Structure 1
Amino acid sequence: MNKHGGYYGENKEKVLDFSVNINPLGVTERVKEKLIESINIINRYPEIDGESAKKVLADRLSIEHSEVIIGNGATELIYLFARAFSPKKVVIIQPTFNEYFRAFRLTGSRICNYELTYSNDFKLEVNDLLDYLKDINPNVLVICNPNNPTGYFIRQKELLPVVNYIREIGSYLLLDESFIDFTDEKSYVNLIKEFPIFILRSMTKFYSVPGLRLGYGVANSEIIKKLNEHKEPWTINSFALSIVSTILDDEAFYRESKKWLQDEKNYLYKELKEIRDIDFFNSQTNFILCKVKKGNAYEVREKLMQYNIYIRVCDDFIGLDNTYFRIAIKSHKDNIKLINAIKKVL
């Protein structure tokens, strides 16, 4: 199993966990009410492939329901895609979410890691990537956008030469947009009919329901058909399916979440700039990648635990080492505690 964020040690209730990237506004009362109501259908099987939720998502995205697939979290769909296509060669843009590597390794794929660099703030240079792809000619290219853990987003216009090349060589682009709801950026969903793209989305992070495991993917109907041929039945439970419309229709929660994120990101940027012993990278999403200039992030985490604060050390990401750590953006009160603690330990 790969390492991920999440504190599971002693005094779990007292620890402020900055290692998981979940919207701190939490589950709304409307969602709670819907979940309570759904207890009445727990004695029945859920829809075998989540057809009603697929139609809701398709209408929201202005695509066909045959172009949507529902998963037990986006991670299930990463492994499903790897299993269904079993590519010979895969290029993964690193550093990034480490489940891509594991999923394709399990299918026996040759994995080529294209590593972004600290000197370039982990930004993607399209021309350099194109040269690399022409040398490798992969069957699948994997890009997380916005990327975890760097928070970097690459826009359609910039990446289009890569997308065109992937189509030209008969390959696929696996594009993970799990954190795009936290941004004001345009999705690549409008490209799925024209290009061989499989787009992943997570509903658990922005809507703060990670325990329900709810994600989906969109692609042209041929890609979705192939995925369904390899997908197990009943992977999405009745509770998760019941809240799709409820969470998507809550415009007030969406607006409140976007305002919270912008305000708190501005606060954290301002405070982090004043800490000499930390570098940080501008993020398009709800977490910030940091680098300590002296010592390592494990030492920082140990010292922060004296203040009941837990951070995500990032040495398990390919291309990063133990000087990097990631912090989630939380409530203003919690962010103040984090900054005050970091200033004390550094």
Structure 2
Amino acid sequence: MNFTLEPPKHGGDLAAWQRLEQNADHWLDLSSACNREPWPIPESLLENSAKLWYELPDPFVLEQAATTYFGQAPLAIGAGTQQFIEVLPSLLWEKVQRKKVLVPAVGYQEHSYCWRKWGYDVSEYQEVSELFSADWDIAVVISPNNPSGRYVSEQESEQLKALLDDSERYLILDEAFLDATPEHSWLKVPLPRGCFVLRSVGKFFGLAGARVGFMFADQAFLPAIQSLLGPWPVATPALHLVAEALKDSAWQDEALASLAERHDYFMATIVPKLNTLFDSQDMHYTPLFYTWQLDQEQAVKAFSALHSVGVHVRLGQGWVRLSLPAGHEMQRLNNGLVRLLQGHQLKELG
């Protein structure tokens, strides 16, 4: 084990930027990829939540709601998908001999970090198709990938399932961003041997602070995962909150309609301006976020230009990502872009 590795940095670090720059307290924060119109916590739940802080967690209600929502029962409920990413290396340590792990070169970096931390031999791949001929014991696939926006295709899914059925390999499928496009989920059918699917309520539902995630896998792993998670990994209020969100099918339908409506406006009104600002049309998206691939110098300049009009986005190595704004945020973003494109900063970006 190597516990001296430097952990990956997370999020857009809005608070850090606010400490560095003046007048940053009222920035429009589009650096997160979570739904900007999150599930609204009912007043009745808030009014009755006090007693929940006095009770030890009982996951039964959430297990029932999750089984109905996802179409199959979760193997475990934990403190976000992050907790499962942390424990999977120890869960599978004795299952594989060579410890050869493949992770996507672009994607959530905790996957790579956690396997490396536990001493696995970790390599990176660029395309999912590389997994069909590569040598690996464990592979991580993210669908849709954040920040690339890429989904695993139906054909790729079938080939990966065949690989699992015909070998002793293990696949970690991170579906944390998939709720808005459930037709792509592997949870539609029974999972193949060796597959672990991770789901989150922090993205589509916007409940990142609840810290609740789900793992789906073969029941044979239940004793081991319970031992690794320990008792009560999720607080009682979070269990009840997320159960209500998963049962709220009316809001889910409204949220999908809102995402579609906001996307249409964003594509028609905002994207052409961002294409000009970024000097790039190399953009990929999911229902929750949009990512432009840019020259790194251009990305840094564009990031700074957006800051000058009070818009905070996520800056990566050669990419800039924006979450889909809420409906009431669109005009503010549009006005800021108009000011940028009419001003001198466009010349500096050119």
SS class of match (2:234) = coil
Residue in structure 1 matched with residue 248 of structure 2 by the alignment: 250
Where do 5+ consecutive residues of structure 1 fail to align? 117-123, 316-320
SS class of match (1:59) = helix
Residue 177 of structure 1 deviates from its aligned partner by 0.7
1:71 correspondence with 2:70:
no
Residue 146 of structure 1 deviates from its aligned partner by 0.9
Residue in structure 2 matched with residue 25 of structure 1 by the alignment: 37
Asked whether the equivalents of residues 71 and 187 of structure 2 are also in contact (C-alpha less than 8 Å), the reply is no
Q: 1:229 to 1:25 in 2, by over 3 A?
A: same
Deviations 1:70-127 (A, max 9, x none): 01111111111122113511111231111101111111111110024xxxxxxx4x3x
Report the Cα distance in structure 2 between the residues aligned to 1:75 and 1:206, rounded to whole angstroms: 16
Report the Cα distance in structure 1 between the residues aligned to 2:89 and 2:107, rounded to whole angstroms: 17
Q: 1:25 to 1:296 in 2, by over 3 A?
A: same
Residue in structure 2 matched with residue 4 of structure 1 by the alignment: 10
Aligned-pair RMSD on alpha carbons? 2.2
Residue 193 of structure 1 deviates from its aligned partner by 4.2
Letter of the structure 2 residue corresponding to residue 84 of structure 1: L
Asked whether the equivalents of residues 93 and 115 of structure 1 are also in contact (C-alpha less than 8 Å), the reply is yes
Deviates more, 1:51-60 or 1:14-23: 51-60
Report the Cα distance in structure 1 between the residues aligned to 2:70 and 2:237, rounded to whole angstroms: 22
Residue in structure 2 matched with residue 53 of structure 1 by the alignment: 62
1:83 correspondence with 2:95:
no
Deviations 1:188-209 (A, max 9, x none): 0144443321110011222222
SS class of match (2:214) = strand
Pairwise mapping of residues 160-309 of structure 1 onto structure 2 (< 5 A)?
A: 160-270=158-268, 271-273=270-272, 275-276=275-276, 277-292=279-294, 295-309=297-311
Q: 1:303 to 1:61 in 2, by over 3 A?
A: closer
Residue in structure 2 matched with residue 97 of structure 1 by the alignment: 108
1:130 correspondence with 2:141:
no
Residue in structure 1 matched with residue 314 of structure 2 by the alignment: 312
Q: 1:259 to 1:13 in 2, by over 3 A?
A: farther
Where do 5+ consecutive residues of structure 2 fail to align? 1-6
Deviates more, 1:179-188 or 1:76-85: 179-188
Deviations 1:14-65 (A, max 9, x none): 01111101212234142x4324312113122223xx24322321233343x4
Asked whether the equivalents of residues 35 and 239 of structure 1 are also in contact (C-alpha less than 8 Å), the reply is no
SS class of match (2:179) = helix
Q: Quote the sequence identity (%).
A: 22
Deviations 1:102-157 (A, max 9, x none): 111111111110024xxxxxxx4x3x4312x2xx2x12110111111111212344
Report the Cα distance in structure 2 between the residues aligned to 1:108 and 1:273, rounded to whole angstroms: 46
SS class of match (2:206) = coil
Report the Cα distance in structure 2 between the residues aligned to 1:204 and 1:36, rounded to whole angstroms: 23
Which of 315, 318, 327 is the aligned partner of 2:322?
A: 327
TM-score, scaled to structure 1: 0.85
Deviates more, 1:196-205 or 1:295-304: 295-304
Report the Cα distance in structure 2 between the residues aligned to 1:29 and 1:218, rounded to whole angstroms: 26
Report the Cα distance in structure 1 between the residues aligned to 2:24 and 2:163, rounded to whole angstroms: 48
Q: 1:259 to 1:108 in 2, by over 3 A?
A: same
Letter of the structure 2 residue corresponding to residue 328 of structure 1: S
Q: 1:38 to 1:333 in 2, by over 3 A?
A: closer
Q: 1:115 to 1:3 in 2, by over 3 A?
A: same
Deviations 1:138-180 (A, max 9, x none): 1211011111111121234432112211332201110011111
Report the Cα distance in structure 1 between the residues aligned to 2:316 and 2:100, rounded to whole angstroms: 26
Asked whether the equivalents of residues 192 and 220 of structure 1 are also in contact (C-alpha less than 8 Å), the reply is no
**Number of aligned residues:** 321
Residue in structure 2 matched with residue 155 of structure 1 by the alignment: 153
Letter of the structure 1 residue corresponding to residue 288 of structure 2: N
Asked whether the equivalents of residues 71 and 188 of structure 2 are also in contact (C-alpha less than 8 Å), the reply is no
Asked whether the equivalents of residues 17 and 310 of structure 1 are also in contact (C-alpha less than 8 Å), the reply is yes
Asked whether the equivalents of residues 39 and 251 of structure 2 are also in contact (C-alpha less than 8 Å), the reply is no
TM-score, scaled to structure 2: 0.84
SS class of match (2:147) = coil
Pairwise mapping of residues 100-115 of structure 1 onto structure 2 (< 5 A)?
A: 100-115=111-126
Q: 1:39 to 1:156 in 2, by over 3 A?
A: farther
SS class of match (1:278) = coil
